Amino acid sequence: MATSSTSALAAPRTGIWLIGARGSVATTVVAGWAAVAAGLQPAVGMVTHTPPFADCGLPDLPSLVFGGHDVAACPLPKRAEQLAAQGVLPHDLPHAVRAELAAADAEIRTGGPLVDDLRDDHELISAFAEDIASFRMRNNHARCVVVNVASTEPAPRAGDDRLPASSLYAAAALRAQAAYVNFTPSTGLHHPALHGPYEVPVAGRDGKTGQTLLRSVLGPMFAQRALTVRSWSGANLLGGGDGAALADPDAAAAKNAGKERVLADTLGTVPEGVVHIDDVPSMGDWKTAWDHIAFEGFLGTRMVLQTIWQGCDSALAAPLILDLARIVTRAHEAGLTGPLPELGFYFKDPDPGAPSSLSEQYTALLGLADRLRVAHT
Amino acid sequence: MATSSTSALAAPRTGIWLIGARGSVATTVVAGWAAVAAGLQPAVGMVTHTPPFADCGLPDLPSLVFGGHDVAACPLPKRAEQLAAQGVLPHDLPHAVRAELAAADAEIRTGGPLVDDLRDDHELISAFAEDIASFRMRNNHARCVVVNVASTEPAPRAGDDRLPASSLYAAAALRAQAAYVNFTPSTGLHHPALHGPYEVPVAGRDGKTGQTLLRSVLGPMFAQRALTVRSWSGANLLGGGDGAALADPDAAAAKNAGKERVLADTLGTVPEGVVHIDDVPSMGDWKTAWDHIAFEGFLGTRMVLQTIWQGCDSALAAPLILDLARIVTRAHEAGLTGPLPELGFYFKDPDPGAPSSLSEQYTALLGLADRLRVAHT
Amino acid sequence: MATSSTSALAAPRTGIWLIGARGSVATTVVAGWAAVAAGLQPAVGMVTHTPPFADCGLPDLPSLVFGGHDVAACPLPKRAEQLAAQGVLPHDLPHAVRAELAAADAEIRTGGPLVDDLRDDHELISAFAEDIASFRMRNNHARCVVVNVASTEPAPRAGDDRLPASSLYAAAALRAQAAYVNFTPSTGLHHPALHGPYEVPVAGRDGKTGQTLLRSVLGPMFAQRALTVRSWSGANLLGGGDGAALADPDAAAAKNAGKERVLADTLGTVPEGVVHIDDVPSMGDWKTAWDHIAFEGFLGTRMVLQTIWQGCDSALAAPLILDLARIVTRAHEAGLTGPLPELGFYFKDPDPGAPSSLSEQYTALLGLADRLRVAHT
Amino acid sequence: MATSSTSALAAPRTGIWLIGARGSVATTVVAGWAAVAAGLQPAVGMVTHTPPFADCGLPDLPSLVFGGHDVAACPLPKRAEQLAAQGVLPHDLPHAVRAELAAADAEIRTGGPLVDDLRDDHELISAFAEDIASFRMRNNHARCVVVNVASTEPAPRAGDDRLPASSLYAAAALRAQAAYVNFTPSTGLHHPALHGPYEVPVAGRDGKTGQTLLRSVLGPMFAQRALTVRSWSGANLLGGGDGAALADPDAAAAKNAGKERVLADTLGTVPEGVVHIDDVPSMGDWKTAWDHIAFEGFLGTRMVLQTIWQGCDSALAAPLILDLARIVTRAHEAGLTGPLPELGFYFKDPDPGAPSSLSEQYTALLGLADRLRVAHT
């Protein structure tokens, strides 16, 4: 049949299956991808668009196709308009990329478990895996990567032997032979039932977008200068879905563990001080993070560094997600499997253990680019 | 004679000759050295006291001996008391290290040119070089390093063919075969009359103690994450001698050039924004630096990072000066001459051109430690 | 004639003649007025819309009509679109109030002096006064108030006996028997040739929108608590027309004088420290002001307060301008003439000398409201 | 007997009985009082030393005598040395006022209830009242004021019918006919068993020293300018005893209630946002408070004010306590009883309800000064 023979000849496509596909991060990913692919916006924030990643064989933007799971019903074009009203997306963008948003929305399936869901874990995994497989088939694409961008889920409780939702989706990805990226601090593959080895590349967890990004350069600075950090305290204000989710101390605990790990790794000790995450609904997707670092210099002199980071979470996350999807897809093609340690650059809690200093992580990332380039040429 | 034979057998000593020897930085260097050498204080802030510098053959602290030039008359023990009253030195330290301060003060000679000084440049250089040579002889030390820690001098005016004071001292150092470190933005060796090659190791210029230190880690962060910095503005408030000196726009120009170079090098472009330096006498030796960085992320989203650094300039500078004196002395012993590119870690305006990213500079510094270790063993 | 008899019966209208009528402040005034009058937006920021001003006989919003002078040609509807793109106006507002913007734009006349303008001061004043008178006639309004919202002009130079542009416009206002408000630090009526007494109410100068607003509440706080302020330093970053104008040290001097007066008046002394104003074009109409206040408490303990104000200058200024126009018009009607001391609440440099504490100024403003209410009823 | 007749003729003395008499606040009160009384330090921070309080008949500093209750044993001279080492007191002060510290320490009695204390509430109150009465007798003073400066106690639990310690002391004060000031958020007189009317003046509660002081001037600023505050979030870092006490959410709740009341009263609504209090032991008595205020201006424009307050709690509190003790004593003498509404200037949670705006509170305080002056002359 004409169509199928055309399909067979078409360039291979890469599927990106987003868990939380109608959230603000996912909406920004799809709208931003469409804008950059169409040349409406520069690729600011996408590290894979910088010279070191040329000729690495990464899938190009037009070859990507999006779908995903969500339990929310508001369609992507509508979500994009809401984000534009908040200043997260350029005002005209939802209109300009309406077709692409609608196309992605048509590929979104209802996730779960829903309230009163009678399916057990196995049934859910099967259903999710089937959604993914069907998406791949429908879109004639060679590879697929599942990326978790859903709201942070509460830390699992001891004694609860059901898999958390993030792990159900992770299991479905493995079942469907899709690569897997966990951009949230949720459990995902970090569950005893899902230990590897894996036949696909996986990456995680908890995207490093703001305060922890800063900590991963400031921690090494103090260490390299042999200055003693006495306390490192922080406050985060954010609205949006994540603000509400992280106001739950259990959910925040997972996130804060990642933040503290960066300090422990780079400073060699854990300084005094805690991090708070506050839900401030009126801030929407905008986040303000204040850090107060009390340190001691020569002869015990007390000094202080404070930082204030005012950013838009979705805008910070989206280009990293496109980066990860492209790199992991290419790694999959190049035959790499399991956790990719060179992706620590992107995560608060890199999997497997990786250096916490951003500059070391960047060097490692460039090394991966080199490996992929060599494999490509 | 008994004394001379004893001297001949004594361990070699290292002379540190400070230009601006009665300033707050120099006073902190001497008092702090004495405190650390005596075990009264830990060596916080001294990178040469961290494990990578073990076994490199650096001169140990007890072997150092201090002297220098100054035009001020207030003796070091008195200056130390003033600094303790300001909280720059621990309150009891001036008393505890009074003997060492007095010993260093006895080795300070009047510098110049003084007001109405009738000596020409050559006479001044000869006089200074003789002071240095005599200090070396008196103290039986094998090597000497001259470190400029004087207040920043105005940028030289076009058409003025007299050497600025910092260059007179630098020439004297070369004449006396002492290594030379310029910790200030003053001209020093950067004068056509003093171009190399040099027979001794030299290092400079403008110690990187605060705002620029931060910029050397934040600039690379933005670049590595492919974020576009639109503007980078800064304000510095400081008192002390440097506050007054840098309130002079000519003097500030030299300092600011170093700060901007770091951004240009690490970001690849020069963002909008200027840096101000204000003299606030009541702040004494304490400095507050505010930086405002407006950057653009994915889809042109505008975000802001602000940093506030509250530090004590002398306490930040002193351990770096001890580091530099130790490393340069060891490099001298190992036969290295001319500018040491691996010391960019310490300077705003590294000589010769060096990478501006702190992490690359740190890697280079560790490489130098390795070279010195190999030469030593 | 039908038209004139209709006019004679119509409610009296109030003309607001803006100097700088196509600038961002003026555009925000007109667009915002239209939005609030139409019920599209609440009257946030308009003090005259709060209960103490009810029943004072202020002209209501629908009765206002706008015109003005400018040397720029870009029409108001276009300027409004530019401001919406910067986030200064809500995105849909320029479209929604297009008719009102166009109507105001049709009442804008070319100002001056233009480059190579051959008219002398008297000719210019006459021309401007005629423009204002003609606007009044055309619009059947009883009263008119001229408000200077043009970019700050350089401080006049000694020996230059030509009137600065702001004074030409002020003289024209007086000639046309319009009340006059100087919302900028420019000279306006502060010129020997324009000393009073005046037959109309006048108010000025230099609207208090951000950093100085803060200072007018923080200064009294330190004074009331008997805390000694040692230094008060500030940095302002802003783009837009005022950023460029105030990067000129002469223009900034006028603005800074107002800021310092607030401290001198409220603290009783002038602390150390200066204020910088930097032009950062990419910030557009957004302003960031950092203040660093070093103060001394009991037993000489050193403490610090820092404030960071991130505001939109036009959005802060516009409601105050509507307030002033309404109040001054009503005062005119009530027979008040000359400087109104109760308007110090609105100005950095109140005319005539008024208390600098915001709370005292607010009390005085409420007193004026009471007087106007009594006169009204 | 000679001694008693001398006493009878001596100037009347005023006793200040501190609950928590060996804490850092109490130590600073006594050391600072001695320093100011001896002319070693100016009376910075004492509002009662400013001109409006001249001739009001306040007890002069030399006539004050100190004592108090505490369960800690470390004597005041030793505590003062510890505070000097932290920079809270000038380094030489403990030595200079050693005699006064020792004299006050000799008047400190063991408080309670102690661990395993077998005394019931009535016995404790009697014991405390007797301590106070005996102090008064011993020191020949006409009046006495009891001031609670102990660490904040947890909020009382529902159903617990024992009086909290702060209420036991308050009851003892009443029993001993001493005036009573509660400088903490602890219960004190706010217990059903202790409702008035009272025969002595009382004042409270929770001294307003930092973040809330700021809020009491910033809240009115937003309200007077008709700006809508969307969220007001805060973080507090502090060490010392209060840091540890307030890390307990129950204790923090009382403190935060006062902070929020100020906003509710001055803004007319309660904005989004919470306040955190973190214990950072290495900060000692130094406190850093960050506030983030998101507000909306004309046309819904979003703007932000942030404040950072770095202060020393004891140095901020001590002069206010001396103020309160002097004013309350004079009020007692003038026959005033019960809560003094004019003292809202000093408290987060003024008793009885008082305006929350600092400027209104200051005006009220000056009114009280006038009443006392009139009564005096």
User: What is the 3-class SS of C87-138, one letter each residue?
Assistant: CCCCCCHHHHCHHHHHHHHHCEEECCCCCCCCCCHHHHHHHHHHHHHHHHHH
Does residue C246 contact residue C304 with C-beta atoms inside 8 Å?
no
Give the one of A225, A228, A299 whose C-beta lies nearest to B89's C-beta: A299
Nearest CA in chain B to A46: B226
Extended beta strands in B71-168, E state? 108-110, 141-148
The mean predicted confidence, pLDDT, of chain B is 91
Which residue did the predictor score with more confidence, B180 or D254?
Answer: B180
Q: What's the rounded mean pLDDT across residues B2-9?
A: 43
Which residue did the predictor score with more confidence, D242 or B2?
Answer: D242
pLDDT at A246 over 90: no
Give the one of D31, D226, D358 whose C-beta lies nearest to C47's C-beta: D226
- What is the structure's pLDDT at D8? 45
Residue pLDDT, tens place only, B229-241:
999 999 999 987 6
Q: What's the rounded mean pLDDT across residues D62-69?
A: 97
Chain D residues within 8 A of A235 when measuring between CB atoms:
233, 235, 276, 290, 292
**Among residues B291, B361, B322, B373, which one has the least CA distance to residue B16?**
B322
User: Do the chains contact at D316 and C297, CB–CB below 8 Å?
Assistant: yes
pLDDT band at C203 (very low <50, low <70, confident <90, very high): very high
User: Do the chains contact at C233 and B292, CB–CB below 8 Å?
Assistant: no
Chain B residues within 8 A of C244 when measuring between CB atoms:
none
- What is the structure's pLDDT at C2? 38
- What is the structure's pLDDT at A244? 74
Point out the least confidently predicted range of A149-163, B216-230, D61-75, D130-144.
A149-163
pLDDT band at B219 (very low <50, low <70, confident <90, very high): very high
Domains defined for chain B, CATH in brackets: 2-207+315-376 (3.40.50.720), 211-312 (3.30.360.10)
Q: What's the rounded mean pLDDT across residues A274-278?
A: 90
In what side-by-side order are the strands of the sheet with B302-312?
A275-279, A228-238, A286-296, A302-312, B302-312, B286-296, B228-238, B275-279
**Among residues C248, C310, C257, C319, which one has the least CA distance to residue C285?**
C310
Chain A residues within 8 A of D306 when measuring between CB atoms:
290, 308
Which residue out of B91, B93, B310 would a mutagenesis test of the D interface target, given it has the greatest number of D Cβ atoms within 10 Å? B91
User: Do the chains contact at B213 and A224, CB–CB below 8 Å?
Assistant: no
Point out the least confidently predicted range of A110-119, B47-56, D159-168, D249-258.
D249-258
What are the residues of chain D with a beta carbon less than 8 Å away from any beta carbon of chain A? 230-231, 233, 235, 237, 272-274, 276, 278, 280-283, 288, 290, 292, 294, 304, 306, 308, 310
pLDDT at A353 over 90: no
Chain A residues within 8 A of C91 when measuring between CB atoms:
85, 91
**Among residues C102, C18, C20, C44, which one has the least CA distance to residue C312?**
C44
Checking ipTM against 0.90, whether it exceeds it is: yes
Chain D residues within 8 A of B288 when measuring between CB atoms:
none
User: Do the chains contact at C47 and D301, CB–CB below 8 Å?
Assistant: no
What are the residues of chain C with a beta carbon less than 8 Å away from any beta carbon of chain A? 85, 87, 91, 308
pLDDT band at B256 (very low <50, low <70, confident <90, very high): confident
pLDDT band at B254 (very low <50, low <70, confident <90, very high): low
Residue pLDDT, tens place only, B188-200:
999 999 988 999 9
Size of interface A-B (CB pairs under 8 A): 173
Residue pLDDT, tens place only, A285-297:
899 999 999 999 9
Q: Which two tokens stand for residue C314?
A: 């036009």
The mean predicted confidence, pLDDT, of chain A is 91
Q: To which residue do tokens 């030195």 refer?
A: B89
Neighbours of chain B (3+ CB pairs under 8 A): A, C, D
Nearest CA in chain D to C291: D307
Give the one of C220, C305, C315 whose C-beta lies nearest to D307's C-beta: C305
- Using a 10 angstrom Cβ sphere, with 0-12 exposed, 13-18 middle and 19 or more buried, the burial of residue D373 is middle
Report the run of H or E that residue C15 belongs to, with start and end: strand C13-19
The mean predicted confidence, pLDDT, of chain D is 91
Crossing angle of helices B121-138 and B165-175, in 10° steps, is: 50
Which residue out of B283, B286, B302, B312 would a mutagenesis test of the C interface target, given it has the greatest number of C Cβ atoms within 10 Å? B283
- What is the structure's pLDDT at B6? 43
User: Do the chains contact at A309 and B305, CB–CB below 8 Å?
Assistant: yes
Neighbours of chain D (3+ CB pairs under 8 A): A, B, C
The helices-and-strands tally (H runs, E runs) of chain D is 12, 11
**Among residues C211, C222, C364, which one has the least CA distance to residue C305?**
C222
Size of interface C-D (CB pairs under 8 A): 174
| β-strand pairing of B228-238 with B286-296 | antiparallel
- What is the structure's pLDDT at D10? 60
Does residue C85 contact residue C19 with C-beta atoms inside 8 Å?
no
- What is the structure's pLDDT at A252? 73
**Among residues D289, D293, D295, which one has the least CA distance to residue D312?**
D289
- Using a 10 angstrom Cβ sphere, with 0-12 exposed, 13-18 middle and 19 or more buried, the burial of residue D338 is middle
- What is the structure's pLDDT at B330? 97
- What is the structure's pLDDT at C10? 60
Does residue D132 contact residue D146 with C-beta atoms inside 8 Å?
yes
- What is the structure's pLDDT at D6? 43
Residue pLDDT, tens place only, B75-129:
999 999 999 988 899 999 999 999 999 999 999 999 989 888 999 999 999 999 9
Which residue out of A89, A91, A95, A312 would a mutagenesis test of the C interface target, given it has the greatest number of C Cβ atoms within 10 Å? A91
Helix, coil or strand: residue C238: strand
Q: Which two tokens stand for residue B233?
A: 């503005």
pLDDT at D368 over 80: yes
Chain D residues within 8 A of C228 when measuring between CB atoms:
44
- What is the structure's pLDDT at B7? 45
- What is the structure's pLDDT at C254? 67
Point out the least confidently predicted range of A102-106, B158-162, C202-206, D256-260.
D256-260
Report the run of H or E that residue B235 belongs to, with start and end: strand B228-238
Size of interface A-D (CB pairs under 8 A): 62
Asked whether the CA dihedral C218, C220, C223, C225 is positive or negative, the reply is negative
Which residue did the predictor score with more confidence, C252 or D198?
Answer: D198
- What is the structure's pLDDT at C229? 96
pLDDT at B172 over 60: yes
The mean predicted confidence, pLDDT, of chain C is 91
- What is the structure's pLDDT at C3? 40
Q: What's the rounded mean pLDDT across residues A219-247?
A: 89
Nearest CA in chain D to A229: D282
Q: What's the rounded mean pLDDT across residues A82-105?
A: 95
pLDDT at A3 over 70: no
pLDDT at D129 over 70: yes
pLDDT at D153 over 70: yes
Specify which residues A293 forms β-bridges with.
A232, A305
CA distance B45 to chain A (A): 5
Give the one of C274, C294, C310 whose C-beta lies nearest to B282's C-beta: C294
Q: Which two tokens stand for residue B152?
A: 């920043």
Q: What's the rounded mean pLDDT across residues C250-278?
A: 83
- What is the structure's pLDDT at C307? 98
Residue pLDDT, tens place only, C208-220:
998 889 999 999 9
Size of interface B-C (CB pairs under 8 A): 63
Nearest CA in chain C to B302: C283
Chain D residues within 8 A of B308 when measuring between CB atoms:
308
Q: What's the rounded mean pLDDT across residues C186-204?
A: 94
User: Do the chains contact at B237 and C231, CB–CB below 8 Å?
Assistant: yes
Asked whether the CA dihedral B24, B27, B32, B35 is positive or negative, the reply is negative
Helix, coil or strand: residue C297: coil
pLDDT band at A4 (very low <50, low <70, confident <90, very high): very low
What are the residues of chain A with a beta carbon less than 8 Å away from any beta carbon of chain D? 230-231, 233, 235, 237, 272-274, 276, 278, 280-283, 288, 290, 292, 294, 304, 306, 308, 310
User: Do the chains contact at D233 and A233, CB–CB below 8 Å?
Assistant: no
Chain D residues within 8 A of A237 when measuring between CB atoms:
231, 233, 273, 292
Of B236-240, B249-253, D94-98, the range with the highest mean pLDDT is: D94-98
Distance CA B85, CA B90 (A): 9
pLDDT at B9 over 70: no
Does residue D185 contact residue D253 with C-beta atoms inside 8 Å?
no
Residue pLDDT, tens place only, A175-208:
999 999 999 999 999 999 998 899 999 999 999 9
pLDDT at D112 over 90: no
- What is the structure's pLDDT at A163? 93
User: Do the chains contact at B274 and C273, CB–CB below 8 Å?
Assistant: no
pLDDT band at B284 (very low <50, low <70, confident <90, very high): confident
Distance CA C207, CA C126 (A): 27
User: Do the chains contact at A298 and B89, CB–CB below 8 Å?
Assistant: no
